[in-house]
């Protein structure tokens, strides 16, 4: 019996040691490809949000891995969240697709596209694109529904977890064009950055308490319906060409298109600092890469990424240098 007991003890000891890392051995923690934060990278969903003042507070934006803000008719903005790790129970308010969305999403692969609808002229273009149509036009009120506490047309919400069951053709996240790494040495300290469009604005200001940039939307603090102040450790202002497209809304407004294929200037905001950068994207299916003005890589900070696509130069308020005594 003693021999049996000793054998069992030694077996358990060896098994326990085998399950533990040796001293000095590094444990690989899976990280999301987009944010570089701990967690996996699952199927990609792109969700279109209304971004007018009447649509705020928005629900679920804080769970997106990446957020894009683009110009639409009348100089207003729409928001598109990219989700690959956290899929909230409810997102919204949901609005319609625009031609710029297709250009932006080309580098993400076969994405599940979540939106309220699209004008008839654009529907065939969406069908021919490398996107999986998961819109309200193809799904029942049990998935897309109106929130009675919001007024139309700012009331449509979606339950994304119910769409996952319909997303067999949606691809998982793949490595993006940006890289994570140390902040550029030449970055300058700022208090805030204001990003403008003809009829909308955002302000990103540094919070020493939260150690991230917080957002104002059209002059008001940008608070999600959860109570969380929207913002992040990593924000990107991408200067793009915005020109009229062949599409328009039902009121006769011409839809602008943001040109995201090619190259241009931009600004990276992180760690209370800003540095000028260059973006480059060779084709629809290729990723957008970022470099500093000297050609070296421009690294992103870990965290949710906000991309502000505008053709107007941002306004920076720099932190004054302390006076010499």
Write out pLDDT tens, residues 303-325: 999 999 999 999 999 998 776 65
User: What's the CA gap between 97 and 122, in Å, rounded?
Assistant: 8
CATH number for 45-164 (one of 3.40.50.920, 2.40.37.20, 3.40.640.10, 3.50.90.10): it is 3.50.90.10
User: What's the CA gap between 79 and 266, in Å, rounded?
Assistant: 19
User: 179-318 has which fold?
Assistant: YerB-like fold (3.50.90)
- pLDDT at residue 1 is higher than 60: no
**Looking at residue 323, what is its pLDDT?**
66
Residue 35: other Cβ atoms inside 10 A? 24
Query: Mean pLDDT for the chain?
Result: 92
Q: Would you state the structure tokens that stand for residue 186, as one six-digit string?
A: 């030449």
**Looking at residue 325, what is its pLDDT?**
59
pLDDT in tens, 143-169: 999 999 999 999 999 999 999 989 999
Place of tokens 């957008």: 288
Q: Is the dihedral of CA 85, 271, 293, 312 positive or negative?
A: positive
3-class secondary-structure state, position 2? helix
User: What's the CA gap between 99 and 119, in Å, rounded?
Assistant: 10
User: What's the CA gap between 14 and 9, in Å, rounded?
Assistant: 9
- pLDDT at residue 252 is higher than 50: yes
User: What's the CA gap between 20 and 15, in Å, rounded?
Assistant: 9
All CATH 3.50.90.10 domain ranges in the chain, comma separated? 45-164, 179-318
Contact 163, 140 (CB under 8 A): no
Contact 146, 157 (CB under 8 A): yes
pLDDT in tens, 255-308: 999 999 999 999 999 999 999 999 999 999 999 999 999 999 999 999 999 999
pLDDT in tens, 5-35: 444 444 444 444 444 555 556 677 899 999 9
């Amino acid at each position: 019996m003693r021999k049996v007991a000793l054998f069992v003890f030694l077996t358990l000891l060896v098994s326990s040691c085998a399950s533990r890392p040796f001293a000095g051995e590094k444990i690989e923690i899976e990280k999301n490809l987009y944010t570089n934060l701990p967690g996996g990278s699952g199927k990609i969903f792109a969700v279109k949000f209304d971004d007018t003042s009447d649509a705020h507070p928005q629900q679920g934006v804080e769970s997106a891995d990446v957020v894009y803000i683009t110009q639409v008719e009348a100089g207003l903005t729409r928001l598109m969240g990219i989700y690959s790790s956290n899929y909230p129970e409810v997102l919204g308010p949901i609005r319609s697709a625009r031609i710029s969305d297709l250009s932006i999403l080309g580098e993400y692969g076969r994405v599940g596209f979540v939106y309220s609808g699209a004008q008839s002229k654009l529907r065939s273009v969406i069908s021919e694109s490398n996107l999986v149509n998961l819109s309200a036009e193809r799904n029942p009120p049990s998935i897309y529904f109106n929130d009675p506490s919001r007024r139309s047309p700012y009331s449509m919400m979606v339950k994304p977890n119910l769409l996952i069951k319909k997303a067999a053709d949606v691809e998982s996240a793949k490595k993006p064009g940006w890289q994570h790494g140390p902040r550029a040495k030449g970055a300058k300290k700022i208090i805030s950055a204001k990003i403008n469009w003809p009829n909308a604005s955002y302000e990103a200001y540094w919070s020493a308490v939260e150690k991230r940039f917080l957002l104002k939307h059209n002059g008001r603090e940008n608070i999600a319906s959860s109570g969380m102040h929207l913002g992040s450790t990593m924000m990107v202002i991408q200067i793009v060409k915005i020109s009229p497209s062949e599409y328009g809304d039902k009121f006769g407004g011409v839809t602008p298109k943001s040109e995201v294929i090619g190259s241009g200037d931009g600004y990276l905001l992180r760690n209370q600092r800003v540095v000028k950068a260059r973006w480059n994207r060779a084709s629809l299916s290729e990723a957008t890469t970022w470099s500093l003005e000297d050609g070296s890589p421009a690294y992103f900070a870990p965290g949710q990424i906000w991309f502000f696509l505008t053709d107007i130069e941002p306004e920076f308020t720099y932190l004054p240098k302390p006076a010499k005594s």
